[in-house]
Structure 1
Amino acid sequence: MTLKKFFRPFLYLLGLYVIVCFLLRILLIFNPIVTGGFSLGSILKIFFLGALSNAFVFIVVGVLFWMYLLFLSDGKYKKPFGYIIFGLLLLLLIYVSFFNTIFNQYGGVVPTLVITFIGIKTFLFGLLLFLPKYRKQIRLVLYTFTIFIFVTLILLNGVSEFFFWNEFGVRYNFIAVDYLIYTNEVIGNIMESYPIVPLFTGLGIASLGITIFIVYKTKSYLNHLPSFFSKLKIIVVNAIGLLLALLLIPALAHLQNAQNIFTNELQADGIHKFYDAFLDNSLNYFKFYPTINQQEAFQTLQKQFPDIKGESTLRSIKDSIPEVHKNVVLITVESLSEEFLAHYGNKKDLTPFLDSLADKSLIFTNLYAVGNRTVRGLEALTLSLPPTAGESIIKRKDNKDKFNLGNIFKQRGYQVKFMYGGYSYFDNMKDFFEGNGYDIVDRSNFKPEEITFANVWGVCDEDMANKAIETMNAEAATGKPFFNHWMTVSNHRPYTFPNGKIDIRGDAKSRDGGVKYTDYALHKFFSMAEKQPWFNNTIFIIVADHCASSAGRTALPMDKYRIPAIVYSRNFIPSQEVTKLCSQIDIMPTVLGLMHFTYPTKFFGQNVLDSTYIPRAFIATYQDLGFIRDSTLTVLSPVKQIQQYELKEEPIEGVAPQFQSKYKEILLNKPDLIRKKEAISFYQTASWLLQHKGYQQ
């Protein structure tokens, strides 16, 4: 048998992977989420360089398949080696099953997985050892099963990439890494959001058909297993291919440098993007981002905060009017894009309650979320800190005892709680909020009879509203003021909620339904709250955690970060529109200003209503850090890259000027050095303070 024939099984799988990726690119290009056209050069880059990336990535991943093929041998079953190996496998199985091993220290399902794997391996080795007459047939079954697994994973990856793109408009990124950690919620979300049975039935049929074809074409490998010296040659060829792949994969990634972000994403290989995201979940600002002299950075920051000294943001907020210790309820609404509200041009009447409440409230009309994940929004509201590169502070190990909003209230005798309809261990919220002085009210606090409807993310927002009222009544009974931060869950895929509440069915799995039901639940909460004696002594803040989608032609599309924020307090806060450009981190410092709090602060957020406030905003992914000021967007990216865009408004017909949110981002060839320095100073100082424990309580 020639050496070429030994490579046939691998080449068929390689070809399948490249073909699936080619077809996937065609589907993604025509996805409605992709905006703008592509030049001929872009198309060639997407498909030619993309195919090369796919091939080299599979060469690396295919090492697992080669290990299986190269371990196929008849020699290891000969006496006495076969019995020695079988005996060792049995001893290993007994050891991991009945003794305290390192796997037991990991806990969870790890010991079970290890025992199952070794058990199956021992059983199959025994079959091949003691049934030599049926060895070829058994090996063919195992070979077919192995091919089936690889084929299924290739097809499943293509399907997963399609749905991930449909949701986020990018290849696998940091969110996909997160999803591997919280498999229960994510798998539940998938099960409830998509037609899993027909989807996996079709996938299984396709995998089986392709497997039969590949096995038929390559089963001769099993009849003529390579000799020891042939295997050495195969290993050498594989080693050369692996080395080339490891060198060329990053080189091809560097060629993903088009101005259109969709071109780069389409050209990329999803598995490689996932690997990059896994490695880069913690980014050292000073290693990957542009910097200036540290003293100069804080001096630049001092223009925003004149009272700070040295390498610190510590300063005093003073008010001549006595403090007003009203109750405060901060409601963070899942995925509430500004586009859902009538004020911003929506014609579907999705938020009738919020639209009516906005007219009676202080409403921020030009406000931007700092990020595109819930944890980023919670971080911004709690710590009033610009987003820093990598994972949210909430999910970092060093996430406790930070200078935070809850502590400011606690120092004044407030009861401080975080409320969440799901299990707050998700996204590390429980660890973060408890570590910063909050008490937790989540799904684990519900009695079975208190839950009328729940999905994988938690109890419906109505049930959480009932629990919130119960909790606040108990707090009010103590005579102490309370600060409660409630994170909603219903406006999240699969968008399921109780039927019969709104004019959209709860099992229709409609985003519009999720938005409208959340608005309904908030209306119900306010209706109940109005009947409580503490209502007139309470400030309510309603703000989105992030937008419903963050995908666009550029890395940081402005309209995908614009969110509504409403501050309501009957007979205390007059209705008004705050049109100044501002950030999520400014909301609570503004509320503290309305309450005339005098306090020492390290917050980067500011009271927007203060005459000294300088309008600016922060928007970011886990990697790209954006700073908006005076119609200029400055974006800091790895490695040490800076780009600036002129923001040119694209008016939406029928929308008032203060609610316009569409902008064309025009790349500037000549950067504004002042804005560049400002952007660096904010992100550099925030990163430095976190790194050097300068943002602790």
Structure 2
Amino acid sequence: MAKLLNSFLKISGFYILVGAIVRIILLFLPITNNSFPEISDYFKIFLLGIVNDLCVSIISFVFFWLYLIFLSDRKFKSPWGSIILIIMLCLLGYLMFFHTIFDDYGKLVSKLLIAFLIIKVISFALLLFFPVIRKSWRYSMYCIIFFLYVYFIIFIAVSEFLFWNEFGVRYNFIAVDYLIYTNEVIGNILESYPVIPMFSVLVLISIIITIFYVKKSKKYFNEFSGFKTKLISSLIYLGLIIGSIYLLKYNQEQENSENEFVNELQSNGLFRFYNAFMDSSLNYDKFYAKIPEKKAIQIIEHEYGMFKDGEIIKDTLPEIKKNVVLVTIESMSSSFLNHFGNKKNLTPNLDKLANDGIFFSNLYATGNRTVRGLEALTLCIPPSPGESLVKRKNTNNLFSTGYLFNKKGYTVQFFYGGYSYFDNMKTFFKGNGYQVIDRNSLAPNEITFANIWGVCDEDIFNKAIKVFDENKKKRKPFFGHIMTVSNHRPFTYPEGKIGNPENEKTREGGIIYTDYAIGGFINEARKHSWFSNTVFIFVADHCASSAGKEDIPLEGYRIPAIIYSPGFIQPEKITKLVSQIDLMPTVLGKLHFSYTSFFYGQDIFSSKYIPRAPIATYQKLGYLKKDIVIVLSPKQKIEQYNFIQNKLEKNKHIDKNILEEAIANYQTISHLIENNSLKIKK
């Protein structure tokens, strides 16, 4: 009992101390660009934060508890010792020589499990066959486990700092992705930060702290508690775990500040990570405000002219079977372009294309992740609470832009410079009629530069041009969707291409290189016979950052979009409000396609077009119309902001009509998804 209590107090105290230090540091980071004048804000951040950290420390102590509670000599007595050792060896052999589920997303998790099991096998075997070393061995293992706890606590603190510095939030779905896609993410970290020096310092600090805490703990291994004592202490600990779970849930309800940074800071990062891992989607009816289903359908039919049976798009002019190339640009905020006031000349090629095509100056992304942008451009629907449909199961054979182009006789292809298993892109696009061309499709001589996210943008553009040449020989029009990767941390690119040296690894360098690659792509495309018969669309997947004081900071969602086709598309600047989901229906309108539409996105040149933009995080569902933003949150929470002089001001008076439109959009799309009604009806 003594060693359990002593170990728990040391670990929990250290975890709470580190948590408080992290909150103080995060408060003063540049991305947390707001002051907290209310005393109650500090109270919630630190007092509730300490309670949250204590609860998480109680729950996470379970691994240490399991080690300590099973310390005994009885399990080594014959025949149990030999039986346990054989079972452990069989499990180790299975992990080492057979394909397991852990191998599907990279080898790191599998390697860690194998390493852990090897240590356990060696440890158990030594204790089984050499009883004389048991006391010193157990004390050594105790020190190692204590060190791992200390190191993990410090590692999580540093990771939260880095994550907050990039996204302005605690762990969320992005962090879950980072855990699953270990190859890309760990590679990204290795290329972005001085990892070896940084973690060497962490190891050294952890060793010093461990020595300080465990130097007087050897006495706890002179004898072991009996079964009754272990049972009582275990029951007490189990009660503490249950209480901690309920208290964490209760404190989660107190995250109700109007300042999102306050809510984030008072929370615990590991608990946020757990919630994100468990809830990749949210049931709309259970968590969000609703209106009667009949009324919701009436609103959607009035707004979009469709619902269950689709809207009949009948163009009076003949269809134009031009090739279509959609380039989705990684993390290209509107604020990077000269057309939006940037004076650094970061994007001369995009700015020139904006002058020569249809330029959208007031277009908003639906979300803050690549998969959300791909969803908006492919399915042309508002975002639903939780993860993008690109990452969910059973999302094949959906009504999509790819489906329409296939139906019109086009060759349909998706190009991605990385490995398309990432973010489930391969499964999604292949399941919806696209030929997927990713890093695996490039020959070694086609790759001039690559980092952990994939080949550089020039390489994937060059590959696309080769494929388009092959498509041309087949005398079929083609639709090519290209996803870039270079404008992403670690911001590395081929040396000598632009002014910034490669080793600077800056966001501006990534922007300049991506723009350079786009310029090279267009210049090379002009030399090919299919260029004059092609419509190009350039649009960001999302902004570089969407963090802010408000639930949904609008400037973190405004993105550039351009439709370019010399001789076919006349230059024009569109200033009215447009959503990312409207872009492809607008292109289809320019091609005079007739079809039955199940899109929520609309042709903005149609007389029936109603300007509005759905914008969301994973849980907050926003709806922008005129100068009003409605935000729907879990627990049926409703908020309204007025968009005045590029600032959001909270308004306690809710516009009922716009609120009902917002609810109707999200309620109906959620129902369609849940009922598999977006699937193509054969």
TM-score (norm 1): 0.94
Matches within 5 A, 1:588-603: 588-603=584-599
CA 1:523–1:118 in structure 2 vs 1: closer, same or farther (change >3 Å)? Answer: closer
Aligned-partner SS, 2:415: strand
1:106-127 Cα distance to aligned partner (Å, 9 max, x none): 4636887666544433331232
2:381 corresponds in structure 1 to: 385
Query: Given the alignment, which residue of 551, 555, 560 partners 1:555?
Result: 551
Aligned-partner SS, 1:507: helix
Matches within 5 A, 1:460-471: 460-471=456-467
Q: State the 1:240 CA deviation.
A: 2.9
CA 1:213–1:291 in structure 2 vs 1: closer, same or farther (change >3 Å)? Answer: same
Query: Given the alignment, which residue of 508, 513, 516 partners 2:512?
Result: 516
Matches within 5 A, 1:156-235: 156-235=155-234
Query: Given the alignment, which residue of 9, 28, 31 partners 2:29?
Result: 31
Q: Which has the higher mean CA deviation after the structures are superposed, 566-575 or 220-229?
A: 220-229
Aligned-partner SS, 2:302: coil
Query: Given the alignment, which residue of 671, 675, 681 partners 1:692?
Result: 675
Q: Is 1:413 the counterpart of 2:409 in the alignment?
A: yes
Identity %: 49
Letter in 1 for 2:86: L
Q: State the 1:94 CA deviation.
A: 4.6
CA 1:384–1:140 in structure 2 vs 1: closer, same or farther (change >3 Å)? Answer: same
Aligned-partner SS, 1:36: coil
1:11-65 Cα distance to aligned partner (Å, 9 max, x none): 1111110011111011100010012210222112111110111001110111221
1:436-495 Cα distance to aligned partner (Å, 9 max, x none): 111111111111111110001111011111111111111112221111000001000100
Count of equivalent residues: 675
Q: Which has the higher mean CA deviation after the structures are superposed, 478-487 or 513-522?
A: 478-487
Letter in 1 for 2:152: L
CA 1:508–1:118 in structure 2 vs 1: closer, same or farther (change >3 Å)? Answer: closer
1:317-375 Cα distance to aligned partner (Å, 9 max, x none): 11111111111110000000001001111111110111111111100111000001101
* Conserved 8 A contact 1:354-1:519: yes
2:451 corresponds in structure 1 to: 455
1:268 corresponds in structure 2 to: 267
* Conserved 8 A contact 1:380-1:585: yes
CA 1:6–1:493 in structure 2 vs 1: closer, same or farther (change >3 Å)? Answer: closer
Write the distance in 2 (CA, Å) between the matches of 1:216 and 1:129. Answer: 26
Letter in 1 for 2:212: F
Q: Is 1:532 the counterpart of 2:510 in the alignment?
A: no
Structure 2, unmatched stretches of 5+, are none
Q: Is 1:17 the counterpart of 2:15 in the alignment?
A: yes
Structure 1, unmatched stretches of 5+, are 650-662
CA 1:114–1:501 in structure 2 vs 1: closer, same or farther (change >3 Å)? Answer: closer
Q: State the 1:4 CA deviation.
A: 5.3
Matches within 5 A, 1:36-47: 36-38=34-36, 39-47=38-46
1:652 corresponds in structure 2 to: none
Letter in 2 for 1:68: Y
Query: Given the alignment, which residue of 83, 90, 94 partners 1:88?
Result: 83
Q: Is 1:639 the counterpart of 2:643 in the alignment?
A: no
Write the distance in 2 (CA, Å) between the matches of 1:164 and 1:175. Answer: 9
2:285 corresponds in structure 1 to: 286
Write the distance in 2 (CA, Å) between the matches of 1:101 and 1:456. Answer: 26
Q: Which has the higher mean CA deviation after the structures are superposed, 499-508 or 122-131?
A: 122-131
CA 1:169–1:116 in structure 2 vs 1: closer, same or farther (change >3 Å)? Answer: closer
CA 1:219–1:378 in structure 2 vs 1: closer, same or farther (change >3 Å)? Answer: same
Write the distance in 2 (CA, Å) between the matches of 1:187 and 1:603. Answer: 37
Matches within 5 A, 1:651-666: 663-666=646-649
1:624-669 Cα distance to aligned partner (Å, 9 max, x none): 11111121101111122111111112xxxxxxxxxxxxx2222221
2:498 corresponds in structure 1 to: 502
CA 1:680–1:229 in structure 2 vs 1: closer, same or farther (change >3 Å)? Answer: same
Query: Given the alignment, which residue of 537, 546, 564 partners 1:568?
Result: 564
Aligned-partner SS, 2:643: strand
TM-score (norm 2): 0.96
1:657 corresponds in structure 2 to: none
* Conserved 8 A contact 1:497-1:507: no
Write the distance in 1 (CA, Å) between the matches of 2:218 and 2:165. Answer: 38
2:254 corresponds in structure 1 to: 255
CA 1:300–1:457 in structure 2 vs 1: closer, same or farther (change >3 Å)? Answer: same
Aligned-partner SS, 1:527: helix
Aligned-partner SS, 1:667: strand
Q: Is 1:329 the counterpart of 2:329 in the alignment?
A: no
Matches within 5 A, 1:20-169: 20-38=18-36, 39-77=38-76, 82-96=77-91, 106=101, 108=103, 117-169=116-168
* Conserved 8 A contact 2:612-2:624: yes
1:51-95 Cα distance to aligned partner (Å, 9 max, x none): 111001110111221111111124444xxxx23222112321354
* Conserved 8 A contact 2:96-2:114: no
* Conserved 8 A contact 2:491-2:506: yes
Letter in 2 for 1:133: V
Write the distance in 2 (CA, Å) between the matches of 1:425 and 1:256. Answer: 35
Query: Given the alignment, which residue of 663, 683, 691 partners 2:666?
Result: 683
Q: Which has the higher mean CA deviation after the structures are superposed, 297-306 or 182-191?
A: 297-306
Q: Which has the higher mean CA deviation after the structures are superposed, 600-609 or 32-41?
A: 32-41
Write the distance in 2 (CA, Å) between the matches of 1:100 and 1:222. Answer: 33
Aligned-partner SS, 1:7: helix
* Conserved 8 A contact 2:75-2:81: no
CA 1:689–1:444 in structure 2 vs 1: closer, same or farther (change >3 Å)? Answer: same
Q: State the 1:218 CA deviation.
A: 3.0
1:431 corresponds in structure 2 to: 427
Q: Is 1:320 the counterpart of 2:319 in the alignment?
A: no
1:189-243 Cα distance to aligned partner (Å, 9 max, x none): 1111111011111100011111111111433322343333332332233123223
1:581 corresponds in structure 2 to: 577
CA 1:342–1:112 in structure 2 vs 1: closer, same or farther (change >3 Å)? Answer: closer
- Two-structure CA RMSD over aligned residues (Å): 1.8
* Conserved 8 A contact 1:290-1:680: yes
Write the distance in 1 (CA, Å) between the matches of 2:94 and 2:661. Answer: 59
1:653-694 Cα distance to aligned partner (Å, 9 max, x none): xxxxxxxxxx22222212111111100101111111122222
Aligned-partner SS, 2:21: helix
Write the distance in 1 (CA, Å) between the matches of 2:464 and 2:110. Answer: 40
* Conserved 8 A contact 1:96-1:115: no
Q: State the 1:516 CA deviation.
A: 0.3
Q: Is 1:348 the counterpart of 2:344 in the alignment?
A: yes
Letter in 2 for 1:689: L
Write the distance in 1 (CA, Å) between the matches of 2:469 and 2:49. Answer: 59
Write the distance in 2 (CA, Å) between the matches of 1:381 and 1:415. Answer: 18
Write the distance in 2 (CA, Å) between the matches of 1:593 and 1:100. Answer: 55
* Conserved 8 A contact 2:4-2:68: no
Write the distance in 1 (CA, Å) between the matches of 2:128 and 2:593. Answer: 79
CA 1:332–1:286 in structure 2 vs 1: closer, same or farther (change >3 Å)? Answer: same
Write the distance in 1 (CA, Å) between the matches of 2:202 and 2:157. Answer: 11
Write the distance in 2 (CA, Å) between the matches of 1:98 and 1:226. Answer: 34
Write the distance in 2 (CA, Å) between the matches of 1:112 and 1:468. Answer: 36
